[in-house]
Structure 1
């Protein structure tokens, strides 16, 4: 079934157009075999209305009354796709994409979503390019059993309106607490069951869940360092005996917060490094028992994943790892959107940008390491293969619907690729400079996948 992008023309209050009458250009009516002069069901997200269709020879688009546009949440100049099902006499406009955000800043009309506003505007512009309608809403505005949700959209300026429940909901909530709240969980359950809405990136991934799930797929074992949910001192002792370096990572952590690195120095002592905003705090202990005594109170405050440390390649003496953005495309299949190298900042053992790390092209970063040229070329290929394999493994082994994943990978000094972690909410604020009017491939893929999910 084909769809056509068209512009919405909203007729002012002085016009003679009746509320539930729409005017459609002749060309579009003929192309989609839409009957004129009679009634059809107009569907926009979850909203459905019986409307009369009138054709106009010189109209390039679709004209509706101002009052009807307000009921739908549409604005003049919106570019959406049109699809017609003759069997049900349903004319669908959309797709309608709802993006669930953590919060809105009502006192900042130009930046209602804070630092995420630029990404939101980019999504709007991309939807205009590909024929889709997007609005943004927060957990505070979730309806209980209603067909509309209060949200925000952009048409030269940000404005608030009521919109129909979307065809596709893109979850951009940035805290687990908010995502796990009863109102959010009930909303996601209800829109899926009641309206057939598809929700993607519907939950955060925990490190333990990811590694335990991927262990079930034997083909992924080569990417997985030894990794377990931390339980007690005995586990710390046995892991430190097997591996010269181990990491303890909060299973719900992000941005490199709270990571502990423990290294064995011969048979004499142990070093323990912890992350802080100002760099790395390093201490030396005579025994692993002394290390445990030092960090035990911290380990009681939250759950940790204990993981085999890797001897990573370094660029100019700084550890390097890699972030692959893997997204589903307009056919619903996984593809690599980008792979970047992340070089740790001075006095840091993690590469996160929030910890002073910097981005680099993969080829340039590999060239600064001690890997031989052939190993560099192989590592570049294997990074992409590993990211795709792991994304497919998540799809198969982890419950939930994901449309994009940030896959963090490492390369050791022998050129072998390892998985560090998988993030289901990859950041949209990477500081990448963007030319005026340009669309990042990652945003394009998000819209294209939403169109696919909605059948446009």
Structure 2
């Protein structure tokens, strides 16, 4: 293998044809890594031969423009891009990390939305940004939340992309419901009785756990919902830096703004200035940046080092900022969509630069230890 440090991108296949959801992103990392002096391999826990301590890796051949398979040793540093799946593949990931805790990882697994909510609730700074959220144990939880808030969201504690989320509003003895199922298909607005809503929720609850969250008024004048995606990453020195932010606007009749669900993106500044005076917009941006830094501080203290984090932010009509949820395996497509080439390039480069920093720091420490032992 090349003498260059090797970055292993660890992912999960998303179907039986062994396809990878982020293959385009992995190609970009491979090309940029080569420019920085990093060799990049892509693998899943299924590709590991534990007896031989070898990996049947995917490697992008820049000259040929092709992905090739090749047996490789374990990488020097691992960038975990494994997103939650309710299946055996995710169990294989857990077993891999348990079997090889001594390997160098850029990021650590985080707990589910409910546990993270409880962790943030105990922090004096972050607690002020959290929407009211309760763990769903039975229908009485929903009833109490609707008495307190006009609208609530019924959200799975695991998963991404807006899957399995319902928006529920009380209407006398009935309920106005809309959302998305676990395949991201839009559930159009409908009025349901309590038994009908119970049936719908129970279908979503199969093998999943949920929270009920306070609804925040994020509809624009045309009825579409919007929120803000914030990306914060470690740089080449291992320090956290604000990479950028963008506004996501959901499609018609969607309760979520996710790009995968058909949403579109515009620049964060444009939306803030459309909604607020310039001075208020600047204060909101400062508040969001401070919130981001505090969130990663609390998470690293609990779970160990991370390399990047995305935060989904809502801002109500009064300018109050809410932290809706976090994503430790964020996409960066939103910056390409808004035409922010600088933020997009930063978002691509920073995990690679941080990987080099981690490798070089580890190598320097090992060299220092050898000198100390020799003396």
Measured against the shorter chain, the TM-score band is 0.7 to 0.9
Match of 2:97 among 188, 195, 198: 188
Alpha-carbon spacing, 1:104–1:291, altered in 2? closer, same or farther (3 Å): closer
In 2, Cα distance between the equivalents of 1:410 and 1:104? Answer: 30
C-alpha displacement of 1:247: 0.8
C-alpha displacement of 1:186: 3.5
Q: Structure 1 residue 273 and structure 2 residue 183: aligned? A: no
Q: Structure 1 residue 333 and structure 2 residue 239: aligned? A: yes
Verify the 8 A CA contact 2:217 2:316 in the aligned structure 1.
Answer: yes
In 1, Cα distance between the equivalents of 2:340 and 2:216? Answer: 38
Match of 1:283 in 2: 190
Q: Deviations over 1:156-184 (max 9, x none)?
A: 133322222111111122343355324x3
In 1, Cα distance between the equivalents of 2:96 and 2:70? Answer: 19
Match of 1:310 in 2: 216
Q: Deviations over 1:126-185 (max 9, x none)?
A: 222222221111222112154432212233133322222111111122343355324x33
C-alpha displacement of 1:199: 1.8
- Which stretches in structure 2 are left out of the alignment for 5+ residues? 362-375
Structure 2 length normalisation: TM-score? 0.83
Alpha-carbon spacing, 1:280–1:439, altered in 2? closer, same or farther (3 Å): closer
C-alpha displacement of 1:407: 0.9
In 2, Cα distance between the equivalents of 1:424 and 1:214? Answer: 15
Alpha-carbon spacing, 1:296–1:132, altered in 2? closer, same or farther (3 Å): closer
1:193-212 equivalences under 5 Å are 193=102, 197-203=103-109, 205-212=111-118
Q: Structure 1 residue 442 and structure 2 residue 347: aligned? A: yes
C-alpha displacement of 1:439: 7.5
Alpha-carbon spacing, 1:104–1:153, altered in 2? closer, same or farther (3 Å): farther
1:11-410 equivalences under 5 Å are 73-74=1-2, 93-103=3-13, 116-155=22-61, 156-157=63-64, 158-176=67-85, 177=87, 180-182=90-92, 184-193=93-102, 197-203=103-109, 205-265=111-171, 270-275=175-180, 279-285=186-192, 289=194, 292-298=197-203, 300-301=205-206, 302-312=208-218, 314=220, 316-369=222-275, 371-397=276-302, 399-410=303-314
In 1, Cα distance between the equivalents of 2:30 and 2:136? Answer: 43
In 1, Cα distance between the equivalents of 2:177 and 2:351? Answer: 41
Aligned positions, number:
352
- Which stretches in structure 1 are left out of the alignment for 5+ residues? 1-72, 75-92
Structure 1 length normalisation: TM-score? 0.69
In 2, Cα distance between the equivalents of 1:216 and 1:223? Answer: 12
Verify the 8 A CA contact 2:177 2:190 in the aligned structure 1.
Answer: yes
Verify the 8 A CA contact 1:102 1:138 in the aligned structure 2.
Answer: yes
Q: Structure 1 residue 414 and structure 2 residue 318: aligned? A: yes
Larger Rg: 1
Alpha-carbon spacing, 1:395–1:260, altered in 2? closer, same or farther (3 Å): same
In 2, Cα distance between the equivalents of 1:235 and 1:423? Answer: 26
Alpha-carbon spacing, 1:300–1:161, altered in 2? closer, same or farther (3 Å): closer
Verify the 8 A CA contact 1:233 1:292 in the aligned structure 2.
Answer: no
Alpha-carbon spacing, 1:103–1:441, altered in 2? closer, same or farther (3 Å): same
Q: Please, what is the CA RMSD of the aligned residues? A: 3.0
Higher strand residue share: 1
